[in-house]
Amino acid sequence: MSFEGTFTALVSPFRTDGALDLDALARLVEWQIECGIDGLVPTGSTGESATLTPAEHVEVIRRVVDVAEGRVPVIAGTGSNSTQEAVDFTLEARAAGADAALLISPYYNRPTQEGVVAHYRTVASETGLPIFVYNIPGRTASRIEPETLAELAETPGIVGLKEAGGDLVKAAHTIALAPEDFVVLSGDDALTLPLLAIGGRGVITTTGNVAPREVAEITRAAAAGDWARARAAHYRLLPLMQALFLESNPIPVKAALAILGRIPEPTLRLPLTEISKPNRDRLEAALAGFPRA
């Protein structure tokens, strides 16, 4: 199974009463696949995993797997700052039919690099599901260093990395040190093109919720060696990429999906709140020209 290309980090739609809207999620998944997306990533930070109950977490993964019906791979977000909880979430994702799991580096307790290695190796060995490491120091307050990632890349069952460290030099060192079959995916939409240029294999994208065809155009053009086409696609999307991060993810992307008619409501769970009026105006301007449902 290929884990290269464009993978959308799906939102978790909620009704106005705050309950999961699994029907809206199913419609979003179907549209993503129709648009030619390469894979789907439910229950990550874009999917508000921090405020899903354990039962909801499994519900979302199962619905995405059921709707996808094997047409594209599903990488389920199963991270936690508790190693045992991460193991439990990953086993649940495996039982629900996920093809792989994406685990954020442990946050708040800030383990040493040795602890990070032990965390991921434990999850990989106890679950048997292909594992993607997720490096995002802006959310975890700690960075996974290239040497640590290279060590993890040699671990059976650890197949790739979502790189959102914002440092292309460190990303380049990681790619240089890791085995050829270790898949590095961008975790920062605006840095996808340069990451592809230094050896990245794709992206796990927030922008893909809104513009799946357009994001996939970047990765496919780059894979074909057509860098002029990849650059053109990147610059067409750059204003939208920036607008979708005017406030904490997924506040803007849920607003964008509601504006485009892809989900009924932009409902969020506290402590996230509705997008501000000035930023909504900027977002609407960036959405000009994108098709409505």
> Which class for 109: exposed (0-12), middle (13-18), buried (19 or more C-beta within 10 A)?
exposed
Token pair listed for 260: 């485009």
Of the residues 108, 120, 162, 254, only one is catalytic, namely 162
Of the residues 107, 134, 254, 277, only one is catalytic, namely 134
Q: Is 170 a catalytic residue?
A: no
Token pair listed for 102: 């994406």
Mean pLDDT, consecutive 10-residue segments, the chain of 293 residues? 95 97 98 98 97 97 98 98 97 98 94 96 98 93 94 97 96 97 97 98 98 98 98 98 98 98 97 98 95 87
Return the residue matching tokens 């354990």.
54
Please name each of the domains of the chain with its CATH number.
5-224 (3.20.20.70)
Q: How far apart are CA 181 and CA 24, in angstroms?
A: 36
Please give the backbone phi and psi of residue 148, each rounded to the nearest 5 degrees, phi first: -65, -40
Cβ(208)–Cβ(8) under 8 Å?
yes
Task: State the CB neighbour count (10 A cutoff) for residue 156.
Answer: 10
Task: State the CB neighbour count (10 A cutoff) for residue 279.
Answer: 15
Tell me the β-bridge partners of 204.
7
Q: Is 235 a catalytic residue?
A: no
SS (H, E, C) the chain: CCCCEEEEECCCCECCCCCECHHHHHHHHHHHHHCCCCEEECCCCCCCHHHCCHHHHHHHHHHHHHHHCCCCCEEEECCCCCHHHHHHHHHHHHHHCCCEEEEECCCCCCCCHHHHHHHHHHHHHHHCCCEEEEECHHHHCCCCCHHHHHHHHCCCCEEEEEECCCCHHHHHHHHHHCCCCCEEEECCHHHHHHHHHCCCCEEEECHHHCCHHHHHHHHHHHHCCCHHHHHHHHHHHHHHHHHCCCCCCCHHHHHHHHHCCCCCCCCCCCCCCCCCHHHHHHHHHHCCCCCCC
Burial 136-152 (b: 16+ CB within 10 A, else e): beeebebbbbbebbbbb
Over residues 165-214, the pLDDT tens digits come to 999 999 999 999 999 999 999 999 999 999 999 999 999 999 999 999 99
pTM: 0.96
Task: State the CB neighbour count (10 A cutoff) for residue 213.
Answer: 15
Token pair listed for 178: 């890791």
Q: How far apart are CA 50 and CA 217, in angstroms?
A: 31
Q: Name the residue among 93, 148, 99, 141 with its Cα closest to residue 119.
A: 148
Q: How far apart are CA 73 and CA 129, in angstroms?
A: 13
Q: How far apart are CA 158 and CA 258, in angstroms?
A: 36
